[in-house]
Amino acid sequence: MHHPLTIFWPVSPAPDIDEIQFSFSFCRKMSRRFCKIAYPGALWLDYDGFESIETLFPKADGQVLILVKEPETVLSPHAIRILHDLGQAGHDICGPVFNQSTFPQQVASLPAVYVDMDSFLEVSEIIAEEKSCEYFQLSTGLDPACVSFRLDFLRELAPSELISTIKAPNRTGSPIVAQGALAHSGFLNAFSSQRDDLVRLVPDSGMHDILDVGCAMGGYGKTLKRIFPEVRLTGVELNPVMAKKAAPYYDKMLNIPLEQADFSGLFDLINCGDILEHLTNPWGMLKRLRRLLRNSGRLVLSIPNAGHWSVVRALLKGQFQYIPLGLLCIGHLRWFTESSIRESLEEAGFEIEIFEKQQIPPTREGEKFIRDMCTSGYGEEPSLRANEFLLRAIRK
């Protein structure tokens, strides 16, 4: 059987972080599904980094090979088609554009921010329609996360070379970047976020002892210590891999479930960034956090909005697809809207000082959905547009 192209997908162990382990399988599943949409007859081959060109290439078929090295990659159907077509047109080496990359020339100019797979496909389609035939040559190498090669070109390389060490060499006419081919890259980096949105909610004075709940890889602590170096900062992180990464930015690090943590004193501020939705009993935890605050202490929260348009639209379609991180993160156990988080804080003994609604501009289809819902009387626009709530509360 002849296959129009071959896709090599990396099989490697994920870090011991639940969301990232899910991400590795999720990205593979989505990419394979989209590959079947683009080319039902494409050949999909899993590989490990210790396999060589000599052992793998006899299995490849077609004129074009898409080599993925980063397991947290999602290839859109449009990206697969465009990379294949450019290879057939004679381009030896080609790379897609990404939502994020350490290679600046391969960072896509997104027409909108996607928040789930439906909006990812919508954004990738817009980019493909606008720039399907556009590409430019690079004087430097390509992002190795995903590169397409003409098979004839690859066969010229040393047969003993490992798949994991193949680089995109520079030569006349190559490599090129396909501006219409969008691939998603990465979820792990989100655990290192600096969380400027939460740091700016810290009052300028009176903050001596701060507790950071669920500090991930320490981005918040790193940022806070740069601005307030005198603050005594305690971190709590359940995952040992992330706790180890975060520890240098904290005066004290507890690698223990929050419910089991024993604190010797009170705090001026407790930061709880995207944590409550991961707890079995967030309502009881709010009451405990209140007891850990001094009389004038503050609680800073961020929490995703279950009433966001993308979640509502998916439910109306009968869909509920978990993703590695985001509104429908695989780790979410509880769900909140504006009214329910306000009520929960009130019942726990807090008074809200600041309540902000973070609004990522919707895609075109998202905007249409919001208008249709509001026009029909079934939707409340502020809620549909808010992807996350940021708030600061004080003890009553």
pLDDT digits (tens, 9 = 90+) for 74-114: 999 999 999 999 999 999 899 999 999 999 999 999 999 99
Task: Compute the distance between CA of residue 5 and CA of residue 147 in angstroms, rounded to an integer.
Answer: 13
The reply to whether 246 and 140 lie within a common domain is no
Residue 143's CATH number: 3.90.550.10
Q: Which of 156, 186, 216 is the last residue of a domain?
A: 186
Task: Compute the distance between CA of residue 67 and CA of residue 373 in angstroms, rounded to an integer.
Answer: 42
CA torsion, ordered 271, 274, 276, 277, to nearest 10 deg: 180
**Integer Rg of the chain from CA:** 24
The reply to whether 16 and 146 lie within a common domain is yes
pLDDT score of 61: 87
The reply to whether 41 and 115 lie within a common domain is yes
The reply to whether 103 and 59 lie within a common domain is yes
- Mean pLDDT of the 177-181 span: 96
**pLDDT band with cut points at 50, 70 and 90 for residue 167:** low
Contact predicate 177/136, CB 8 Å? yes
- Mean pLDDT of the 260-273 span: 93
- Name the helix (H) or strand (E) containing 390: strand 388-395
Other CB atoms within 10 A of residue 192 CB: 16
- Mean pLDDT of the 173-177 span: 79
Residue among 352, 350, 217 at smallest CA distance from 282: 350
The reply to whether 325 and 339 lie within a common domain is yes
Q: Which of 144, 169, 186 is the last residue of a domain?
A: 186
The conformation of residue 260, written as its DSSP 8-state character, comes to: G
Listed in sequence order, the residues at least 6 apart from 326 whose beta carbon sits closer than 8 Å to its beta carbon are: 115, 116, 304
Question: Has residue 158 got a pLDDT over 80?
Answer: no
When the pLDDT of each residue in the chain is averaged and rounded to a whole number, the result is 92
pLDDT score of 164: 53
Task: Compute the distance between CA of residue 307 and CA of residue 340 in angstroms, rounded to an integer.
Answer: 11
- Per-residue pLDDT tens for 309-331? 999 999 999 999 999 999 999 99
The total of structural domains in the chain comes to 2
Transcribe 174-202 into DSSP letters: B-EEEEEEEEEE-SGGGGG---HHHHTTS
pLDDT score of 21: 95
3-state secondary structure 47-100: ECCCCEHHHHHHHCCCCEEEEECCCCEEECHHHHHHHHHHHHCCCCEEEEEECC
- Per-residue pLDDT tens for 30-63? 999 999 999 999 999 998 866 766 777 788 888 9
Question: Has residue 172 got a pLDDT over 50?
Answer: no
The reply to whether 215 and 149 lie within a common domain is no
- Per-residue pLDDT tens for 273-283? 999 999 999 99
Q: Which domain holds residue 294?
A: 190-395
pLDDT score of 60: 87
Question: Has residue 163 got a pLDDT over 60?
Answer: no
Question: Has residue 370 got a pLDDT over 60?
Answer: yes
pLDDT score of 359: 96
Residue 279's CATH number: 3.40.50.150
The reply to whether 134 and 211 lie within a common domain is no
Contact predicate 163/67, CB 8 Å? yes
The reply to whether 228 and 327 lie within a common domain is yes
pLDDT score of 170: 42
Share of the chain above pLDDT 70, in %: 94
The reply to whether 224 and 155 lie within a common domain is no
The reply to whether 111 and 200 lie within a common domain is no
- Per-residue pLDDT tens for 230-265? 999 999 999 999 999 999 999 999 999 888 888 889
Q: Which of 186, 211, 237 is the last residue of a domain?
A: 186
The reply to whether 198 and 230 lie within a common domain is yes
- Of 49-53, 338-342, 384-388, which gets the smallest average pLDDT? 49-53
Q: Which two tokens stand for residue 382?
A: 């502020």
pLDDT score of 156: 74
Apex CA 109: angle with CA 108 and CA 114, to 5°? 85
Residue among 326, 393, 262, 302 at smallest CA distance from 114: 326
Report the relative pairing of strands 252-254 and 267-273 from DSSP bridges. unpaired
Question: Has residue 24 got a pLDDT over 80?
Answer: yes
Other CB atoms within 10 A of residue 205 CB: 6
The conformation of residue 216, written as its DSSP 8-state character, comes to: T
- Per-residue pLDDT tens for 208-232? 999 999 999 999 999 999 999 999 9
Listed in sequence order, the residues at least 6 apart from 250 whose beta carbon sits closer than 8 Å to its beta carbon are: 212, 215, 218, 221, 233, 234, 235
Contact predicate 68/146, CB 8 Å? yes
The reply to whether 71 and 219 lie within a common domain is no
